[in-house]
Structure 1
Amino acid sequence: MEITGISDLPLHYGRVPQWLIPIMKRLSRAIVDVMLLEWGPDKVIERLSNPLWFQGFNNVIGMDWDSSGSTTVTLGILKEVINPVQDGLAVTGGKGKNSLNVPKELEALPSNFNVDAKRLSRISKLVAKTDTTLLQDGHELYHHSLLVSESGKWAIIQQGMNPTTRFARRYHWSSIKDPVNEKRAGLAGRKEKAVLNVHESVNAKRVIMDLLREDPSKIEKQYLRSMALIRGTSLDSWISLGTVGAISSEAKMVYMKPVDVRRVVKTLSEVREKSPTSLEEALLLGIGPSTMRALSLISDLIYNEPPSYQDPVNVPYDPFKYAFAIGGKDGIPFPVHKEIAFEVIHTLEEFAMKAKLEKKDKAVALNKLREMKLGVKEGT
């Protein structure tokens, strides 16, 4: 079973030293060379989609085990050193506005890629929507990268920042058909107390889809009625008598955050006009976090179908597992050892070069064999 999911990382303000960047690039290229020779592009995608393995990779190239920058720096370096034509592997998107370039970069992939760019662009948007609208855990996305192999296997790695705790959370996805309804296999990190998780509530999603077909003015009345029900009783009694059992007040407070009802009604009206047939379509048409909170509240209090309030994190991880390879840029667990780094680089480059030469020699030998066979046939 593939492990995809989440890793939590504190914000680090320090930048990667200029002298370390060439080492990181060269080491990353050497590791990628070995992985491609050993496994091929599909397996490399699978490995990077695993939050534990990705963490180990960025530790090995010199990032600190707990740095939020490990995601942006590592993916930025991989994007620079990977050659789609030669490697059968590509990294698209990136930090900030670069994340919006995924569709354009998918369209520009070389001809050796057997990829449906439009379908992957749609999946890219749905994954981002799922981790901002269907799962509301207090983290605002600022990085989104889609990695794809020439056969079409893909992974999405995106990161969000919690402005209150100053912790980053990294989300991993891998080659699934339906991000809105399929669960991740595993999520690594620290559990949050306040989470609205519509993603993992089948019944709530069904009710919400029914609500999207209703007259938006009726939804407005139901939302105001829900808020009145909350104001009419104490929070403690609401939680203890609610339909979801014993949960924390922080969790309930997630979708009690004020929403602009007029804006919600406007969004619902625009979406309803286009008659979406699935929640997937509704998300792509413009349903956002505020509207989803309002609909979730109605689903819970009016129709007795609550969303989940459980943070989907369920896989512990050992952040120090690979942290003692060459050290970390900020000196955690110790400063980067240049000598060790170059020793590792030289070893990997030598291995990769030898393997490539052997592969080339094998191809030459096979061609010679074919020529000999053709010569024998022509002679007879």
Structure 2
Amino acid sequence: MKRTGVADLPLHGGRAPRWLFNRMVRLCRAISLVILEEYGRREFLRRLADPFWFQALGCVLGFDWHSSGLTTTVCGALKEALSPLASEAGIFICGGKGRASLRTPEEILTYAERFGLPESFKDFPEISRLSAKVDNTALQDGYTLYHHTFIFTVDGYWTVVQQGMNEVTSYARRYHWLGEKVKDMVEEPHSGIATVKTENEVLDLTATTSRSVREAICNLLKQSPDRLFKEIEKVKYELPRRHSLSERDLLPRGLDRVLISAYENPPANFKEVLKIRGLGPRNLRALTLVSELIYDLQASREDPARFAFAHGGKDGHPFPVDRRTYDESIAFLEEALSRARVGLNDKLSALKRLGSLFRN
């Protein structure tokens, strides 16, 4: 359970039928309560922050293993299963898909007020917003966020599960955050990234190698907008061959408003840069390009995702099946299911799926 990060899934239409979703909620509640009882809230969040365990949970619940809908459905089932037990379990699940994601900060504050949580919990709405801004703007991998779930505990631990869509490739990418592992919200905040597909064109300002560029952008925004636009005019005639650039890349819509806002309230650090109203991916990309050209720097353009699988492959690719890990995963889930407070039919169906996996 040490890896967190990203998973790529193909986009599938439709939704889980109500008869299946109702059962998913019941089974999800049972598995969650067993984990909370046996291992505690902190370990529960660690498991949700592991893309492999999260994927396995979706499979056990009966959802398509390779569908992008697994993310939204599992998060929805978790929310419906545990929200009525928030006071008992000490777990609070906020956000969701589409418009529900925009209500995440409001839901966090509502829980904090309802249960009289300490003043420190009021920072969580900002953490929620910033995690979304990082994966949508600071990490430009071609995926636009449309799902955001923020989960936190009464002990002050938190995790984020969010997903973006690439309309060109018809894939979705899932991002996992684990609060206790995050040392810096804008520098490699994912403690590990796993995926089945990497992108060729990525701008990763969260990489350690991009630190100097992040600092340069902060310095750049402290200058007057007029001076910056003069520098951009110079840059137009010095476009380097190492990037495919155009004037539209350097002068995206709304850049003037961003520059004026930053000049009036200079950002102290890159986190403050991401909070600037109106700063989107294209504006940040323009500022990155100008900073690189003026200060002779280079931001990371490597996709931070890495090829990885939970248990290996039967044909030895990308590596032979790790039988011990495989058996431990099955044993844990079988024990959880055997003790779960669900109907016999649900337990038998889930155990049959696990048994089939084990035999194969």
Normalising to structure 2: TM-score of the pair? 0.80
What is the letter of the counterpart of residue 179 of structure 1? M
What is the aligned-residue identity percentage? 37
Give the one of 207, 218, 224 matched to 1:209: 218
**Aligned equivalents of 1:127 and 1:255: distance in 2?**
30
RMSD across aligned positions (CA): 2.6
> What stretches of structure 1 move > 3 A for 4+ residues in a row?
112-115, 252-262, 318-321, 344-347
Q: Which has the higher contact order (CA 8 A, sep 6+)?
A: 1
Structure 1 pair 3–149 and aligned structure 2 pair: CA distance change class (3 A): same
Q: Which amino acid aligns with 1:12?
A: H
- How many aligned positions are there? 313
Give the secondary structure class of the aligned counterpart of 2:238. helix
Alignment partner of 1:225 is 2:227: no
Is the CA contact (8 Å cut-off) linking 1:92 and 1:147 kept in structure 2? yes
Q: 1:268 aligns with which of 259, 271, 275?
A: 259
Does the CA-based 8 Å contact 2:47-2:53 persist in structure 1? yes
Q: Counterpart of 1:193?
A: 200
**C-alpha distance in 2 between matches for 1:350 and 1:134:** 43
Aligned mates of 1:224, 1:187 — CA distance in 2: 38
Shift of 1:259: 5.4
Contact 1:88–1:112 under 8 Å retained in 2: no
CA distance change for structure 1 residues 257 and 48 in 2, over 3 Å: closer, same or farther?
farther
Q: Structure 1 regions of 5+ residues with no counterpart?
A: 240-251, 322-343, 352-380
Distance in 1 between the 2:101 and 2:189 partners?
23
Aligned to 2:330: none
TM-aligned CA deviation for residue 156 of structure 1:
0.7
Structure 2 letter corresponding to 1:278: N
Cα deviation, residue 208, structure 1: 0.9
Give the Cα separation in 2 of the matches to 1:98 and 1:108. Answer: 14
- Structure 1 match to 2:174: 170
Change beyond 3 A, Cα 1:41–1:114 = farther
SS in 1 for 2:201: coil
Q: Which residue of 1 aligns with 2:156?
A: 152
1:306, distance to aligned residue in structure 2 (A)? 1.3
SS in 1 for 2:186: coil
**Are residues 1:280 and 2:271 paired?**
yes
Distance 2:255 2:212 in 1: 22
Q: Is the 8 A contact 1:196 1:255 kept in 2?
A: no
Equivalent residue number for residue 316 of structure 2: none
Structure 2 CA distance for partners of 1:316 and 1:276, relative to 1, 3 Å = same
Where 1:188 maps in the other structure, the secondary structure is coil
Q: Distance in 1 between matches of 2:280 and 2:306?
A: 26
Q: Could you tell me whether the CA contact under 8 Å between 2:249 and 2:285 is conserved in 1?
A: no
- The equivalent of 1:184 in structure 2 is 190
| Aligned residues of 2:250 and 2:289 also touching (Cα < 8 A) | no
1:36 aligns to what SS in structure 2? Answer: helix
- Alignment partners' CA distance in 2, 1:138 and 1:44: 30
**Secondary structure of residue in 1 paired with 2:237:** helix
Larger Rg: 1
Distance in 2 between the 1:319 and 1:71 partners? 20
Report the Cα distance in structure 2 between the residues aligned to 1:70 and 1:320, rounded to whole angstroms. Answer: 21
Q: CA, structure 1 residues 89+254, in 2 after alignment: closer, same or farther (shift >3 Å)?
A: farther
Write the letter of the residue equivalent to 1:39: Y
Kept after mapping to 1: 8 A contact 2:11/2:67: yes
- What amino acid is the match of 1:348? A
- Mapped to 1, the partners of 2:146 and 2:215 lie a distance apart of 30
Q: Is residue 316 from structure 1 mapped to residue 308 from structure 2 by the alignment?
A: yes
In the alignment, the residues of structure 2 paired with residue 178 and residue 256 of structure 1 have an alpha-carbon distance, to the nearest angstrom, of 33
Amino acid corresponding to residue 87 of structure 2 in structure 1: V
Query: One-letter code of the match for 1:316?
Result: A
Matched position secondary structure for 2:340 = helix
Residue 54 of structure 2 corresponds to 54
Using the alignment, how far apart are the partners of 1:23 and 1:139 within structure 2? Answer: 31
Q: What is the alpha-carbon distance in structure 1 between the residues aligned to residue 37 and residue 253 of structure 2?
A: 57
- Which AA in structure 1 matches 2:192? G
Per the alignment, residue 124 of structure 1 pairs with 128
Pick aligned residue for 2:283 from 282, 286, 291: 291
Separation (CA, whole Å) in 1 of partners of 2:194 and 2:287: 29
Contact persistence 2:26–2:342 (CA under 8 A):
no
8 Å contact kept, 1:93–1:100: yes
Does the 8 Å CA contact 2:93/2:150 hold for their aligned counterparts? yes
Give, in whole Å, the separation in 2 of the partners of 1:186 and 1:256.
36
Which residue identity is paired with 1:178?
D
